[in-house]
Amino acid sequence: MHRFQTTAVHAGREDFGDLCVHAPPLDLSTTYPIADLDVGSASFDALVGGHASAANPIYARLHNPTVARAENAIAALEGTQACVAYASGMAAMTAVLLDRAQHGKHVLVVRPLYGTADHLLATGMCGLEAEFVKAEDIASRLRADTALVVIETPANPTLNLVDIRAVVAAAGSVPVLVDSTFATPVLQRPAELGAAYVLHSATKFLGGHGDVIAGVVCCDETRAAPLRTVRAATGALLHPLAAYLLHRGLPTLKLRVEAAQANAQVLAQRLSEHPAVSKVFYPGLPGAHGAHLVGTQMRGPGCLMAFELRGGHDAAAKVMASVKVMTAAVSLGSVDSLIQHPAGLTHRMVDEQVKAATGITAGLLRLSVGIEDVEDLWDDLAQAMAASGG
C-alpha cells in the first residue's frame, strides 16, 4: 500500500493506462447507448440496486465514470471500501438519514455541528426523532429504535473534539456517522476508529479552491449500496464537472492542509494574546476542548479556529468589514482565508438557546486559515481588530 501523498496523486487513475490518457477524462453524457436490451435491463437493475458499476451506465443519474473515479480516490484516502458522492454535503447527510430511517426512527446527536445539519435533524425533515446529547451520555440514551449516532469532530464552529473511539464503543451496534470535514483524511481517518460513515462537505478542503460544491460519504460496500439507491431515487447526484474538479484538487490536499495548519498555529497563539480577544477556540492551544486527542485521534490541530471578541456583535461586524487580505464569506477549506460570523450566518437557523449553550455567541468569528503568508494574515487581522476598536 502506498503512503498518503502517493495515493493522493494516483488514486482514481487506475484505468488511465487502458484509456491512454494522463488527465482525468470528463464524461458529460446524460445517457448512454444501449446496444443490447438484456444487458441494458440487467445494468439498470444493478445500478438502481446500489451496485458501484454495471456493464452499461444507462443514465447519468445512475452512474458516471468521472464521478466514480473521484469516489474511488477519496475512498482510498479515507481507507474505506467505498465512497458515494452527492451534489453537496447536506445531500450526503440527507441520504444517510433517509437510509437509516428504514432501520429506526431515533438518532442521537452531539452538538455543536454545522448549523444546517443541526436544523435538518432538529426539525425531523427526514422522518427521524433527533435527541441531542453529550458524548458521555450516548450509552445511556440508546433505544431499541436508535438508528444512528451523529457527531462532528472537530465541531463547527467551536472546534470541540469528540473521542470517536469512545463514541463508537458507547454506541455498540448502532452505526456512528462522523462529519470529518474540518479534519480531512490528512489529519483524521474515522473509519480506522470504528466509524460506520465518514462524511465530508467536499466543497471544503477536498475541493480546496472554492469552485466545487460536493458531498461524500465513505463507508464499507454494504452501507454504500443503499446510499447509491437513495441517490438514484432522489437525484442528488454530483455533476461530472464538479467531480472532475474535486478529483483534480486531491493531489495537493496534504500540501494545502499542512501549509494552512502551520499558519493557523501561529495565528491562534497570537490571537490568544491579543487584548481585543476574550477566547480562542483551537485544538492546538493548551486547555482546548479535547486537546488530548491531538496527536492520537488527529495528526494535528487543523486549519480552523474561532475567536470571541470582547466587543461582541458590533466588533465582529467591524472586523468582517475591515479585513482586506481575508475574505468575509461563509465556507472554509479553500486556499484563501475566509472569516465569517456563525451566529449570524452558518448557524443562524439554530435555536438561540442552543447557540448560547454551545458557545456560539454574538462576538464569535470563525476563521478558515488559507495558505497565504502568515505575516500578511496577521497584519490583516490586527488592523481589522484595531478598526473595530479592539
| Domain residue limits at 38 | 4-251
Mean pLDDT across 118-124? 97
pLDDT band at 1 (very low <50, low <70, confident <90, very high): confident
pLDDT of residue 113: 97
Among 99, 100, 111, 114, the active-site one is: 114
Please count the structural domains in the chain: 2
Mean pLDDT across 204-209? 98
Give the model confidence (pLDDT) of 267-311 as tens digits: 999 999 999 999 999 999 999 999 999 999 999 999 999 999 999
pLDDT greater than 90 at residue 127? yes
Question: Which residue, of 213, 236, 251, is where some domain finishes?
Answer: 251
Q: Is 32 a catalytic residue?
A: no
- How many Cβ atoms sit within 10 Å of the Cβ of residue 209? 15
Question: Which residue, of 233, 251, 269, is where some domain finishes?
Answer: 251
Over the chain, what HEC string results? Answer: CCCHHHHHHHCCCCCHHHHCCCCCCCCCCCECCCCCHHHHHHHHHHHHCCCCCCCCCCECCCCCHHHHHHHHHHHHHHCCCEEEEECCHHHHHHHHHHHHCCCCCEEEEECCCCHHHHHHHHCCCCCCEEEEECHHHHHHHCCCCEEEEEEECCCCCCCCCCCHHHHHHHHCCCCEEEECCCCHHHHCCHHHHCCCEEEEECCCCCCCCCCCCCEEEEECHHHHHHHHHHHHHHCCCCCHHHHHHHHHHHHHHHHHHHHHHHHHHHHHHHHHCCCCEEEEECCCCCCCCCHHHECCCECCCCCEEEEEECCHHHHHHHHHHHCCCCEECCCCCCCCCEEECCCCCCCCCCCHHHHHHCCCCCCEEEEECCCCCHHHHHHHHHHHHHHCCC
Q: Point out the least confidently predicted range of 189-193, 249-253, 353-357.
A: 353-357
Give the model confidence (pLDDT) of 343-380 as tens digits: 999 999 999 999 999 999 999 999 999 999 999 999 99
Q: Is 204 a catalytic residue?
A: yes
Give the residue from 102, 118, 84, 107 showing the smallest Cα distance to 175: 107
Give the model confidence (pLDDT) of 21-54 as tens digits: 999 999 999 999 999 999 999 999 999 999 999 9
pLDDT of residue 389: 84
Q: Is 228 a catalytic residue?
A: no
pLDDT greater than 80 at residue 154? yes
Among 13, 61, 69, 189, the active-site one is: 61
Distance in angstroms between the alpha carbons of the first and the last residue of the chain: 51
The proportion of the chain whose per-residue pLDDT surpasses 70, expressed as a percent, equals 100
Give the residue from 284, 280, 279 showing the smallest Cα distance to 298: 284
The model's pTM: 0.97
Residue 322 grid coordinates:
475591515
pLDDT band at 336 (very low <50, low <70, confident <90, very high): very high
250 and 74 Cβ atoms separated by less than 8 Å: yes
Identify whether residues 143 and 30 lie together within a single domain: yes
Identify whether residues 242 and 260 lie together within a single domain: no
Q: Is 61 a catalytic residue?
A: yes
Mean pLDDT across 193-212? 98
Identify whether residues 265 and 223 lie together within a single domain: no
Among 13, 111, 189, 204, the active-site one is: 204
The span from the CA of 139 to the CA of 316, in Å, is 39
Identify whether residues 260 and 193 lie together within a single domain: no
pLDDT greater than 80 at residue 390? no
| The amino acid at 368 | S
pLDDT greater than 80 at residue 176? yes
Give the model confidence (pLDDT) of 58-93 as tens digits: 999 999 999 999 999 999 999 999 999 999 999 999
Give the residue from 179, 171, 175 showing the smallest Cα distance to 154: 179
138 and 169 Cβ atoms separated by less than 8 Å: no
Identify whether residues 227 and 293 lie together within a single domain: no
The proportion of the chain whose per-residue pLDDT surpasses 90, expressed as a percent, equals 99
Mean pLDDT across 126-136? 97
Identify whether residues 190 and 227 lie together within a single domain: yes
135 and 166 Cβ atoms separated by less than 8 Å: yes
Which CATH number belongs to the domain containing residue 216 in this structure?
Answer: 3.40.640.10
Identify whether residues 89 and 185 lie together within a single domain: yes
177 and 167 Cβ atoms separated by less than 8 Å: no
Identify whether residues 62 and 165 lie together within a single domain: yes
Cell 482565508 appears where? 337
- Burial category of 238 from C-beta neighbours within 10 Å (exposed 0-12, middle 13-18, buried 19 and up): buried
The span from the CA of 323 to the CA of 382, in Å, is 9
Identify whether residues 117 and 34 lie together within a single domain: yes
Question: Which residue, of 251, 278, 293, is where some domain finishes?
Answer: 251
Which CATH number belongs to the domain containing residue 363 in this structure?
Answer: 3.90.1150.10
The span from the CA of 293 to the CA of 299, in Å, is 9
Identify whether residues 213 and 109 lie together within a single domain: yes
Identify whether residues 174 and 289 lie together within a single domain: no
Among 99, 118, 163, 179, the active-site one is: 179
Identify whether residues 60 and 195 lie together within a single domain: yes
pLDDT greater than 90 at residue 212? yes
Mean pLDDT across 330-340? 98
